[in-house]
Amino acid sequence: MFLIFGIDRINESKFIHAIVEDISCQVRPPHLYVAQYPVGIESRVKKIKGLLKLEMNDICMVGIIFGIMGIGKTTIAKAIYNSIAYQFQGSCFLEKVSETSGQPNGLVRLQEKLLYAILRDSSLKVDSVEQGINLIKQKLSSKKVLLILDGVDRLLQLEALAGQRAWFGSGSRIIFTARDTNLQTEYEVDATYEVKGLDPNEAHQLFCWHAFKKDKPDDDYVELTKHAIHLAGGLPLSLVVQGSSLCGRSVAEWITAFGL
């Protein structure tokens, strides 16, 4: 029988597949864009990584990152993905889960994206949610994967994409972001994390970076900056939008913008 390095033709394809998988595990996934000025992100990522217990080889349905709109859930989730995705055999970040699932065949499309992101097999097609569930269980049950579902608002979305621990291999981590805290009682999780607003120092830095392109205000803008930060209430999105809209504008324009 013809041999290639001691491997017969029957096992050659399996050998090549194993090599491809090994190489894939060693290639760092491309980073997601997080933020122009990621103020306050690192400390929050560190806390959530502690909840993930990455040193454990169990299957962890983790980290519901709760918080109101604009609090930074998606930004933090992307930063977590960038920080740990290289440790997994496959990884997937599904953004705007609620929005996409509300569209025709939305859940099926999300299932296809999940499978392709982890397996890189464009031949896999999903015709129904039920078929998608079966494919996820069949194809991923032996793989250590990182799956982040961003913007979940209904239990059925979780059930279609990450319904049970047994769908994934040992060491897998499943994270989702949501505004509705009721999901934590409906979905089996190991840990929760609630995103809080930025503290005064973080809020000051974030606003100034967007308004002045540095970490402190120009002398004529000190009091106006305090007023802007107070109005934002530690909400990152509000600080970014306000700071960006006021960047380069005169003191008089700031006063008019605030109605002072």
Query: For residues 260, 196, 31 and 100, what is the CA-based torsion angle, rounded to 10 degrees?
Result: -90
pLDDT at 145: 97
190: closest CA among 43, 83, 56? 56
pLDDT higher at 95 or 30 = 95
**Judgement on whether residues 48 and 65 belong to the same structural domain of the protein:** yes
Name the domain boundary from 194, 221, 237: 194
Question: Band of the pLDDT at 96, cuts 50, 70, 90?
Answer: very high
| CATH number of 140's domain | 3.40.50.300
Q: Is residue 41 part of a domain?
A: yes
**Judgement on whether residues 141 and 183 belong to the same structural domain of the protein:** yes
Name the domain boundary from 194, 211, 229: 194
Condensed to tens digits (0 to 9), the pLDDT of residues 237-255 reads 999 999 999 999 999 999 9
**Judgement on whether residues 163 and 91 belong to the same structural domain of the protein:** yes
147: closest CA among 51, 67, 80? 80
**Judgement on whether residues 67 and 187 belong to the same structural domain of the protein:** yes
**Judgement on whether residues 82 and 129 belong to the same structural domain of the protein:** yes
**Domains in the chain, number:** 2
106: phi then psi, degrees, rounded to nearest 5: -60, -45
Name the domain boundary from 163, 194, 225: 194
210: closest CA among 259, 202, 253, 195? 202
**Judgement on whether residues 142 and 42 belong to the same structural domain of the protein:** yes
Q: Is the pLDDT of residue 35 over 60?
A: yes
List all residues 6 or more positions away from 69 whose beta carbon is below 8 Å from its beta carbon.
Answer: 179, 237
pLDDT at 28: 62
pLDDT at 8: 54
Q: Determine the structural domain holding residue 158 and report its residue range.
A: 7-194
Q: Is residue 2 part of a domain?
A: no
Q: What is the mean pLDDT of residues 151-159?
A: 94
Q: Is residue 1 part of a domain?
A: no
**Judgement on whether residues 100 and 36 belong to the same structural domain of the protein:** yes
Please tell me the pTM assigned to this model: 0.85
pLDDT higher at 1 or 212 = 212
